[in-house]
Amino acid sequence: MQTVKQIVHDIADRLPEQATFDDAMYALYVRQKLERSLQAAETGKVTSQEEMEKQFLNDAR
């Protein structure tokens, strides 16, 4: 498993030369969201599409 420092280095290495600080921050944000989503999926903390549709329809009434 990579450390946060290694992940930041990898992201920085993949950014184009003309990248802005906003580009770098967005790339880090997306990576963090993906990591959290994968962890949630591994621990079963996910909601199916069907469950979300039922919840949405009940809230709309």
Put simply, whether the predicted model's pTM sits higher than 0.75 gets the answer: no
What digits encode the pLDDT tens for the residues 1-38? 899 999 999 999 999 999 999 999 999 999 999 999 99
> Taking 90 as the threshold, does the pLDDT of residue 59 lie above it?
no
Question: Tokens standing for 13?
Answer: 């290495």
The whole-angstrom separation of Cα 22 and Cα 5 is: 18
> Taking 90 as the threshold, does the pLDDT of residue 61 lie above it?
no
Question: Tokens standing for 36?
Answer: 């959290």
What digits encode the pLDDT tens for the residues 36-48? 999 999 999 998 8
